[in-house]
Each structure stands twice: as C-alpha cells, then as structure tokens.
Amino acid sequence: MTISRTALAAAAAALACTSVWVGRATLRRILGDAVVTAQELWLRPESLKTYVSGFCPWTCAVVLVAVVGGYFVCVLLFTPMDRVRLLGELGYVPDGKVDMKEMSKLVQRRRQTGDVPPVYPNGWFGILESRSVTPGNVRGVSVLGLDLAVFRETEGAVHVVDAYCPHQGANMAVGGRVHGRCLECPFHGWSFDGATGKCSDIPYCDNNSIPSLAKVKSYPVLERNGFVYMWYHAEGIEPSWTPPVIDEIHTGQWTWRGRTEHVVNAHIQEIPENGADVAHLKAVHGACLLSGIDLGRVYDNCWSFSEHLWNAQWTPNSEPDERHIATIHLTHHLTAFGFRVSLFNMKVLARQIGPGIVYLTFETPFGRGAFLQALTPVGPLMQRMVHHIYMERRIPTIIAKFYLYGEATMFERDIMIWNNKRYASKPVLVKSKEDALVAQYRRWYSQFYSEHSPRFTLHKDTLDW
C-alpha cells in the first residue's frame, strides 16, 4: 500500500484540524477573519497585514505543530519503510580515538581475510529492484566484477548488457538512450539489441556491413517477486534453475511494505552460512530486540528481563532438480521475566535458493508474510544485502514495519560479526549436530563454484606493474 506525499499532507492537515477542534472558538475566529476575501486582498493588498496580525500566534503555532506532527505520524503509520545502512554506518566498534567510519576503513585495511573460497559463485542474483528500473531508462550496476548497463524497454522487458561499448569503450549506462529493445551508445550512436547484445545500427555506416565483433555480452535476466535477477556463471553455462514465483505476491494477496539495504564487508558465503549455524542464534539473537545491535552490550542493559528463543533446523534439499535449495524451519518466542509473550510468536520457513537469494515466509498472530533477501557481491569481499517485506493486504503497514525493523536489527548484529571476522577455511568444529550443520552447509554451498570462478587476490598483487 503506497500512499503519495500529497495524500499524507492532506491527512496531516485533516489531523491538524481535528486537533484544534477543542479550540473551535478560536477556529471560528480565524474563519471569521477570513471575511477579508481574496477580492478585497486583490483590491487592497495592504489589508493583508491587518488580516495576518488578527491571528493569535498561539493558534498558528498549534496548527503548525499539529500539521508537522500529523505528517510524521502518517508517515510512520502508512508509508513503507526504507532503511539504508551503508558500510561504515554500523558494525564496527569505535575506540574513542576514531569514529565508526574511520574504524571501518582501518578494519578493512588491517583485517586478515583468511583463505576464502572463490568470490563470485554461480547463480541468479537480484541486481536491482524492479521499481528502480523505469521504462525507457538505463542504470549502471557494478556487481560480480562486472560493469553492467540495465535498461527497461518502453514495452516493459528488462535487459542486462556489459556497459562498455565495443566501439571505443564508452560506458553506455552513463548517458545511453533506450530505443525500443535497443540501447544506444552516447558516444557515436551505435545501438545494441538488449536480448542478443548484437549491434543493430551504426548511424554512419551501412547496417549490412556491421562486423560480427560489434556486440556486447548480454546476460539472462528475469523479473520476479519485485527483483531484477541476473544469471551469472563463470563457465558461461545457461541457467539450470530459476527462482520460484511466490504466489501470494504474484496475485497481490501480500503487498509490499518496505525495504532495507545494507552493505556488508565479508565473503558472500559467510552470510547465508548463518542460516545453518544454529549455535549462533542464542549468542547473537537471544538478547531482546530493544537492546540494540552492539553485541558487546546487548546482554548488559535494562532489557535483560526479556529474551528471544529460537529453534532452527537446516536441511539441504535432496531432489535432483532442487539441489540448489536448502530449507530452514525456524520458530521464535519472546519471553519476559521467564514467561512467553505469545503475541510475538513466529513460525518461519526459509528457503535458501542458490548462492544469493533467500525467500522466508512467516506466520505471526497478526497474519502471514514474507521477507525476500537479495545478496549480491559488489566487490570480492563486499556484499549488498537487500530485504523486502510483504504482508497480507489487511495487515496495517505499521505492523509490517515493526517486523522489518526487528529483522533489520537482528541482521545488524550479524553484520558486526561479518565485518570483523576472518574467513575460517578450516574451522575447529566440535562433535555436535550444530557444528556438523556448518560443515554440511559448506559442502552444499560448494556446488555454486566452478573451475573458472574468480578467486580473491590481494590488492597489492594486482598492482604489481
């Protein structure tokens, strides 16, 4: 449910009028003063001064505060959430001498990375959100070590091609123009078909003599559940599976209520690994939501009377055509002074679909909904993590925002771990079903790497010239 700002302003004004209802005598006075009509003002502009001075300043102040306050209340209640936290805004511990941003840079420089797996696994990645690619427009995206131009035809289909023009290397995502299903380079006007990547027109040359080398690489793309997904495979192999459609979203039973976006400094494999790492749930996510995101302090504050209890099972799918999927069954309870508060019970079914997609459907006492996670490498050890929330149409947006806020807070605690840890290629695991799952997860995830999957090289190696 999206509400325009004009509608919100109107609602705020209505709220303001209601709030001054108690002072309706004053209001009547204001309306009485309005006898100074527009015509009179037009004829005698100097009367405006008299008119304005007739207002009680307190009435004006109350109306102003009520309009502004009403606007923010309406925003809180009705508009979808949009929470963006970029690298350096959280997940580090300032030491008193340097702030969070500076600490982020320091940690990135000095942290040991560990012997990480290849950095760009094979699969579908949510490279953009559908709503951000409007018809007839092009957007530049740098993901998976590629610079891409993503554009939407005026008819609606989205295409993804390499951004650099084969003619003289202009970046077509910067100033490129969309014509039909083609993208026109801003430098000399060559046009490229979005579906095939072939050059279809050169303004100063006979189109029959366009060389076959005049083409850009185009990538398999599909739009589903509000995301633009692109298929990446280091060996150039065509897609062997696709992300499933979520029926309730497709039919409109569940509506979009907001998004969060985070940038995480870690290897991509580390992030979904938390789904299988059930032992971290108590340590990281056990403390009450209101305790915040600083893991050093979450158990040491006035909210310690309340706790989250989690129970999770992680299982890789064994059906031949679903080996790219793993399933997590999760239940959540909130306790206060040792008693369960059933209002916050949650039953979750999460599906990890390939290396960078998680669809998580949940049931709460308020109704059902889904979190959709898109995880995309924007650098070898840098991930953009976007979450969308959908809930049943009848559920007020403020409820959905509460769940999304809760989910974001829990992820922000994970980010503190991810941003600072070293990848443990040979973790010391103990004989337990919890640690066995981590080993099982790593075997499952390894299916997304292939012979030519790009490996991480230290920056200093690449500058050896």
Site string for Fe ion, 267-286 (x = CB under 5 A): -------x------------
Between residues 133 and 386, which has the closer beta carbon with respect to Fe ion? 386
Site string for Fe ion, 397-416 (x = CB under 5 A): -----------------x--
Between residues 274 and 373, which has the closer beta carbon with respect to Fe ion? 274
Q: Which amino acid is at 285?
A: H
274 touches which of Fe ion, ligand FES, none (CB within 5 to 8 A by kind)?
A: Fe ion
Task: Quote the least distance from Cβ 424 to Fe ion, whole Å.
Answer: 16
Residues from 174 through 213 that contact ligand FES (CB under 6 A): 185, 187-188, 190
190 touches which of ligand FES, Fe ion, none (CB within 5 to 8 A by kind)?
A: ligand FES
Task: Quote the least distance from Cβ 169 to ligand FES, whole Å.
Answer: 6
Task: Quote the least distance from Cβ 421 to ligand FES, whole Å.
Answer: 43
Task: Quote the least distance from Cβ 170 to ligand FES, whole Å.
Answer: 4
269 touches which of ligand FES, Fe ion, none (CB within 5 to 8 A by kind)?
A: none
Find the binder of ligand FES among 168, 240, 301, 425 (CB under 6 A). Answer: 168
Task: Quote the least distance from Cβ 362 to Fe ion, whole Å.
Answer: 16
Find the binder of ligand FES among 101, 111, 167, 442 (CB under 6 A). Answer: 167
187 touches which of ligand FES, Fe ion, none (CB within 5 to 8 A by kind)?
A: ligand FES
Task: Quote the least distance from Cβ 279 to Fe ion, whole Å.
Answer: 11
414 touches which of ligand FES, Fe ion, none (CB within 5 to 8 A by kind)?
A: Fe ion
Q: Could you write out the three-class secondary structure of the chain?
A: CCCCHHHHHHHHHHHHHHHCHHHHHHHHHHHHHCCCCHHHHHHCCCHHHHHHHCCCHHHHHHHHHHHHHHHHHHHHHHCCEEEEECCCCCCCCCCCCCCHHHHHHHHHHHCCCCCCCCCCCCEEEEEEEHHHCCCCCEEEEEECCEEEEEEECCCCCEEEEECECCCCCCECCCCCEEECCEEECCCCCCEEECCCCEEEECCCCCHHHCCCCCECCEECEEEECCEEEEEECCCCCCCCCCCCCCHHHHCCCEEEEEEEEEEECCCCCHHHHHHHCCCHHHHHHCECHHHCCCCCCCCCCCCCCEEEEEEEEEEECCCHHHCCEEEEEEEEEEEECCEEEEEEEEEEEEEEECCCEEEEEEEECCEEEEEEEEEEEEECCEEEEEEEEEEECCCCHHHHHHHHHHHHHHHHHHHHHHHHCCCCCCCCCCCCHHHHHHHHHHHHHHHHCCCCCCCCCCHHHHCCC
Single out the segment in contact with ligand FES by CB under 6 A; choices: 65-73, 82-90, 167-175, 337-345.
Answer: 167-175
Between residues 167 and 333, which has the closer beta carbon with respect to ligand FES? 167
185 touches which of Fe ion, ligand FES, none (CB within 5 to 8 A by kind)?
A: ligand FES
Task: Quote the least distance from Cβ 163 to ligand FES, whole Å.
Answer: 11
Spatial neighbors of 239 by CB under 8 A, at least 6 apart, are: 124, 220, 231, 233
323 is a site residue for ligand FES (CB under 6 A): no
Count of residues that bind ligand FES according to CB under 6 A: 9
Task: Quote the least distance from Cβ 366 to Fe ion, whole Å.
Answer: 23
101 touches which of ligand FES, Fe ion, none (CB within 5 to 8 A by kind)?
A: none
165 is a site residue for ligand FES (CB under 6 A): yes
Burial of 78 (0-12, 13-18, 19+ CB in 10 A): middle
Summarize as ranges the residues that interact with Fe ion (CB under 5 A): 274, 414
Enumerate binding residues for ligand FES (CB under 6 A).
165, 167-170, 185, 187-188, 190
